[in-house]
A = this chain, B = another copy of it.
Amino acid sequence: MSRRVTSQDVADLAEVSRTTVSFVLNNVNRFSIRPETAEKVRLAAQQLGYYPNASAKALASNQTQNIGLIFTRSPEYIASDSFLPQILSGMLDVVKQHSLSLLVEWVEPGQQLETYLQLTRAHHIDGIILMTPRTDDTGIKALEEADIPVVVMGYIPDSTLHSVDVNNLEAAQEAVEHLIGLGHRQIACITNAALPFTSAVQRLYGYRRALESAGIPFDPDLVREGDFEAKSGYKQMKSLLDSGKKFSAVFVASDAVALGAYKAIWEAGLAIPDDISIVGFDNLPLSSFISPPLTTVHMPARKIAQDSCYLLMRLMKREFPESRMVSLPTTLIIRDSTRKLEESRML
């Protein structure tokens, strides 16, 4: 139970003042310090195993070196977020490179305002990355007004917050156009999430626009709402199959949900893509391994996370980028879950 090593100890051992220690270890070159002195200090620090106390440093410098990753979903849903590993991976990568730390939080729906205020006022963190935003987030305005850098991973309409996202609308449109290009006309849709989640709306719009520009009427009976999990895809695909509506293809706006749809189709004695073509969205690591490998839209999840970090770090340095939105490209990855209509048996 040895006493904590402070900068004073280092100063004593190096026979200099505490200030000098601070200057040396923080590379403050505004006041020049003799190289030998600096070396002496560094040596002493290493010898004592000195690490500056994070709280004290934060208090004195008014910078915590923490950035907050904030989820707007409850833990139950977080558990089934198949993207999370990639996101976290990307963030940890960048964050560590810049000697920052990552603080993970989630906010209860309805508690957003309170939580955001607390996070910013208590100054737990220097900046915020907000995941999977919802249009019904009651705290966004507080975040906009608070004097803290914020990056949204995703899209919030009419917000002044900076954001990093893909063009969900165009990507979804491209996916559905792929189906149309294969000759499909009756195309169902299962969303990735409930509609308060902006990505769900965007992808649904993409679906509609693709139909529209091909002159195919939109049929609300062919649309179902997923909720991140495979289970919802299973249920909704069953519902579609039971509805009696005819369709030869489905756009499922989430790979995880699509996997549920796979099961429903398979249980109904139908085959993919022989009877039904499926396009997913996300390109999870597992999507190329399921049978048949899923045609899907590649989301550069790791890159989104990294770019969000980079953007946030620029904001923290009070650099203001020209554009408020960073839009990353997606790619349609064609595998074996889609096929030309001629070759399929019409349902």
Contact = CB atoms under 8 A, between A and B. Distances in A.
A64 interface: yes
A285 to B, nearest CB: 6
Contacts of A79: 85-86, 88-90, 285, 302
A219 interface: no
A80 interface: yes
A262 interface: yes
Contacts of A78: 85, 88-89, 92
A217 to B, nearest CB: 32
Interface stretch (A36-44, A46-54, A167-175, A200-208): A46-54
Contacts of A286: 82, 230, 256, 259, 286
A105 interface: yes
A118 B105 CA distance: 23
Contact of A123 (B50, B53, B96, B118): B53
B289 A234 contact: yes
Interface string A57-98: 011000010100001000110111110111011101100100
Contacts of A93: 75
Interface residues of A, number: 60
Contacts of A81: 85
Nearest to A108: B96
Contacts of A123: 4, 53-55
Contact of A54 (B124, B266, B289): B124
B105 A101 contact: yes
B106 A103 contact: no
A103 B101 CA distance: 7
B289 A122 contact: no
A121 B51 contact: yes
Interface in A114-151: 117-118, 121-124, 147
Given A90-B75, A92-B106, A5 B121 contact: yes
A275 to B, nearest CB: 15
Contacts of A85: 78-82, 84-85
Interface in A317-341: none
Contacts of A92: 71, 75, 78, 104-106
A260 interface: yes
A252 to B, nearest CB: 13
A291 interface: yes
Interface string A254-283: 001001101100100000000000000000
7 contacts: A4-B123, A78-B88, A79-B85, A88-B104, A101-B104, A102-B105, A230-B286
| CB-CB nearest 3 A-B residue pairs | A79-B89, A55-B58, A51-B121
